[in-house]
Structure 1
């Protein structure tokens, strides 16, 4: 069955080029009406122009689709609210939000400035928060919403020179984990994309042949799936060069220690058992960790928790 978005309204941030442009074009080709948001700045966030967003709108319209351009800076909540209002004024609803906008200010932690660190957090983390907040009540009232946050292997696993970027990209995972619970009863599903693509953000960082394989168009199918009606929720979907995988945060089963061994020395002595991978699993909510540890403690102490 073909996945389509007829009657749906989508907002894609940072959609003037690269991944965002690819996502927006594909959504429009499958029937969505799309807000093409792009500040039009350089990859470090400086400058601004509406040309890129307008060009994508023209492409969509030339293909018979519907789109409008928007130049909001996602790091400014009032501009984000105005963008969402523009979508509501034009089409009366917002069904899909793809948080894609981003900038880079790469430097090793020792050499990077706090100003750059804050700016990257403002765009990637708070920008995602602002856009999501601005559509949240609309999606609740509709009892329908599909939201994608864009994370990164730099956040999930680390990458030299990207402490600022990695912090922001892990931050959106924490937001997703909670909003997946809060949105469930309203049929709002939120997922994360972890893309690997050859765009202006990664140009010059990899061999040319690898760069050519990592097209934005190989990532976009993952977004299309994550914003479909039958999408999963609270899932980190990695995509690049035509490969797709799910990343999970897992916790080992661990080991309860009696009081006499609840010391740093006790932890050191039992480190192999604490870190053993047998039985490790992904937890679905914070309370599951608490329940697991209390169960182990009760078993170790021979008591019942009523």
Structure 2
């Protein structure tokens, strides 16, 4: 593309190894906390694998959530136009540009650090150029809310790859009818197609977490309906609040009565005896549309 920044060569910049990660943590007095979900990747092969699986293009602007000490950041910079790193820890946010200058000085101008909470960050906070891809090692405790928030807030995000707890990866990528299919699966499907993109062993992190991780790839798609997203999500929440009940019973409170819920379900072409775990996002959208029309 004319005028677009071209990716640097694959050898640009040096990645962080275990000794580098511990040295930086000691220098900054950083003790990883469970509250912030901090587990730092210290294996260069893992970050290379993540970047390769993300299938980034040279014109992509990547938003990275929780860059930490910079392991993944350094692997991202050579293959994209820019990285917008959102870091809630002020100490880590301040140190990251210097780390990039030390390890990849020719790529330092591609980095922009935003010291903010990813759950509250806005498109205006991230500035221009707008992010087109999400690649991140997400804190376990906020992974799903962060993904949903960024997909809602940043419509220019077209694709991405996130590393999350293995159980969360299963939920995000689950299909209707599976044991792990639930609210995260349905709401994420409003924005994108998601799939598992491989496992990540716990040994590549410091400190070593008690669980394994997994990669989830996402590709943006158009919402399945023109009805307001919040109205569809209200149906989803009601259906899974009482997961074991039929939709006729589970949606009674949302609709006003079980009889009313059955009328809406039939109008939407959904069996009142079905359960929420059997429905796709398009089915929930039809229910919301039927309720709106009636």
Same fold (TM over 0.5): no
- TM-score for both structures, normalised by structure 1: 0.41
- TM-score for both structures, normalised by structure 2: 0.42
